[in-house]
Structure 1
Amino acid sequence: MSFFTSLSGMKNAETDLRVISHNIANAETTGFKKSNAQFSDVVATGSASDPRRTPGIGATVAAINQDFALGPIEQTGRSLDIAINGGGFFAVASAVSGDLQFTRNGSFTIDATGALKDSQGDLVQAFPVDAAGNVTSTTPGNGMVPVTNTAGSELSSVSINRQGLLIGAYSDGTTQTVGKIALANFPAVNGLRAIGQSKWEATGTSGAATFGEPGIGNFGDMLSGALERSNVDLAEEMVALLTAQRNFQANARAIDTATAISQTVLNLQR
């Protein structure tokens, strides 16, 4: 039994190493959130067992939890870079399926049609607004900037301000507010499913997304010309890496010891 107990420890150490390695690999990924492996013990017992003589039979992975703590904010000065200082996610519609996905990576671009997109080409969601910048509907849609204004002047630049307002500047010197970036939040953010590219999708565990304006309620403020970096602390991860390595080595040594004891017992029986 000791062989399988130590084997479970080695498997858990391997899982821990995989989680830590994933964190380290994404230390420079914009909007990435680190994960932590959680373990629980396994005990073989029954109702008639003496609780003072109950042996454990190893450990198992209880959960791999995501840490959504705010990462460092890096100033970029780029007009379409924006960071969330607080809770919430940017919502983007997949260019392939149209399904909503959620991210903390606010590096956006404008394409030739005036659509606001993320670095993977997915459409950023925004609330419609009136000429004064007031939200006219609580249902977000694809963020679009007209490539020409009503006077026929061409779009010259686009920016997003601290309130999340999407503003187009035109060649005749006029500006036009065309939308307000929508933020999404969830009853249980730890229930979100990571799908890669620093994006998540809603699940039954996370609950459905609720949308709101930046700076209102549980939704964070916007930081214009900035991006949120990964919240991975490399020094912390290196310490965790060494700990996981020691755990793996200790369980491997326990198997060696159990093998030596078994061999000794077999030799005595000859």
Structure 2
Amino acid sequence: MSFNIALSGIQAINEQLNSISNNIANAGTYGYKAQRANFSSMYAGSQPTGTQIGSTTQNIALTGGILNTGRAMDASIDGRGFFISKTSTGQEVYSRVGIFTKGGDDFLVDSAGRRVQGNQLTPGEASEGKFGDLKVPAGDLPAKATTEIDFAANMSADWKAPTLAFDPNDPSTYNMTKVTVAYDSLGKAHTVSQYFRRNDDTTRDIIVETMVDGVAPTTGGPLTLEFDSSGKLTTTPPTMPISFSDTTAAPVNITVDYTGTTFQAGEATTSTNIADGYATGKYIGVELGSDGKVIAKYSNGEAQAVGQIKLATFSNDDALTPVNDTSWTANGDVGTKSLSDPGSGPAGSLAIATLEGSNVDITSELVGLMGSQRNYQANSKVITTENQMLQSLMQAL
């Protein structure tokens, strides 16, 4: 009986050593969760027959340290959430390791090649698409014609009204000029020039003239901007339409919005001069936003959100079934699964260009290793002693 009991102890300790050595070996593995071998007694009726490893558990909720990687497609979770991916057989897998890339089929995949789950986004549409595999469109971004220019500046109250009629080629006929690049429906760039001139030294009126590519547009001024005694714009609405045509593209209709423009003494300054629209762009890459948005980038400087990564939380995440040491699947014991965007709810927020390290405590593992060694020696001593006693008995017979 003593032989068997001691042997069971050695066998259980070997399994414990496997867990400890696996923890130590994976101390540098991203998202690894340390294992713990749990001993349990064995009985035959009321008689003890030894010990065994009753279960192996992971403290999934205990997070590891956050490590900077500098890679725009890496992400760690500050919270209880899990990234969701799907295998080729359709099984959902949950992980804390956010190492993502665009696969050859344009789907977003994790480090194991599983497709990342979330909602597809269509630029310009408020509603999200169906939950499922996230795809990153790798085609060109079509050109978008400019429809609006946001312009805000201070028209200096120190300006003197020009005496000559407006002439875009004569700087003495205006006080300030500003240029904005606009695009037609084919993505061709056009130069929209605005010329500002004070109407009269005794009034607070500013006249705006426009030229497109050096030619007067079909419509576009002159517009008079009027200000009150405190220098605030009173023109209603504070906008000016500009229309022009190119020989091949569709006519361009732009609204210039002067909201925020002032009339104050001192230097004339421009705080806003932004036009929408852009030229055709080539796909050049993808990155993640801290809100979980999957952002496609283009050669024209544009970036568009094409997907929304979702995070999963469980009421009992420690009950998840391990696929490996960094991935799990759900079962009947995990409770309710909830989906949320990063940054909302208990799932937590994302830290981009970082990864979660392992939660292995090397010191504790080494202490456990020494304890296992002592227990192994003690059980070996029992077997040695039992063997000596049997030899003595055989010699006495």
Q: TM-score range by the shorter chain?
A: 0.7 to 0.9
- Residue of structure 2 in register with 1:230 after alignment: 358
In 2, the alpha carbon distance for the partners of 1:237 and 1:102 equals: 26
Which protein shows a greater Rg? 2
Q: Is the 8 A contact 1:135 1:180 kept in 2?
A: no
* Matches of 2:121 and 2:344, distance apart in 1: 16
Measured after TM superposition, the shift of residue 192 of structure 1 is: 2.1
**1:121-160 to 2 correspondence within 5 Å?**
121-129=113-121, 131=123, 136=128, 140-147=131-138, 148-151=140-143, 152-160=280-288
- Matched residue, 2:303: 175
Gaps spanning 5+ residues in structure 2: where?
A: 144-279
Alignment deviations for residues 20-58 of structure 1 (CA, whole Å, 9 cap, x no partner): 111122112111111101112234445xxxxxxxx5332
SS in 1 for 2:332: coil
Query: What is the CA-CA distance between 1:207 and the residue it aligns to?
Result: 4.7
Please provide the CA RMSD for this pair: 2.3
Tell me the distance in 1 between the aligned counterparts of 2:55 and 2:131.
34
Deviations 1:129-166 (A, max 9, x none): 464796636x6211222223243522123221211111
- Write the distance in 2 (CA, Å) between the matches of 1:133 and 1:254: 74
Amino acid at match of 1:24: I
**One of 179, 184, 189 as aligned partner of 2:317:** 189
Matching residue's letter, 1:64 = T
| 1:76 aligned partner | 69
Give the 3 Å change call, closer, same or farther, for CA 223–135 of structure 1 in structure 2: farther
Q: 1:65 and 1:150 mapped to 2: Cα distance?
A: 52
| Structure with the higher fraction of residues in strand conformation | 2
- Tell me the residue number matched to 2:12: 12
CA offset at residue 16 of structure 1? 0.2
Partner of 1:52: none
Structure 1 Cα separation of the partners of residues 127 and 376 of structure 2: 55
Match of 1:220 among 340, 348, 364: 348
Query: Counterpart in 2 of 1:32?
Result: 32
Percent identity for Structure 1 against Structure 2? 34
TM-score normalised by length of structure 1: 0.86
The 1-side partners of 2:106 and 2:351 are apart by 22
Asked if structure 2 preserves the Cα contact closer than 8 Å seen for 1:133 and 1:165, the reply is no
User: SS of the residue aligned with 2:379?
Assistant: helix
Number of residue-to-residue matches in the alignment: 259
What CA deviation, in whole Å up to 9, does each residue of 1:86-143 have, x standing for no partner?
Answer: 212111122x323221211111112355321112222111223464796636x62112
Partner Cα distance (1:111, 1:266) in 2 = 71
Aligned residue for 2:386? 258
Counterpart in the other structure of 1:201: 329
Taking structure 2 as the reference length, the TM-score comes to 0.60
Query: C-alpha distance in 2, partners of 1:101/1:242?
Result: 36
Say which is worse superposed, 218-227 or 232-241, in terms of deviation.
232-241
2:372 counterpart (220, 239, 244): 244
Q: Which has the larger helix fraction?
A: 1
Alpha-carbon distance in structure 1 between the residues aligned to 2:39 and 2:323: 23
Measured after TM superposition, the shift of residue 237 of structure 1 is 1.4
Return the offset for 1:84: 0.7
d(CA) in 2 for partners of 1:126, 1:61: 39
Unaligned runs of 5+ in 1: 47-54
Deviations 1:174-227 (A, max 9, x none): 221112111122233232222237322223333574322223222021011101
8 Å CA contact 1:164–1:181 kept in 2: the answer is yes
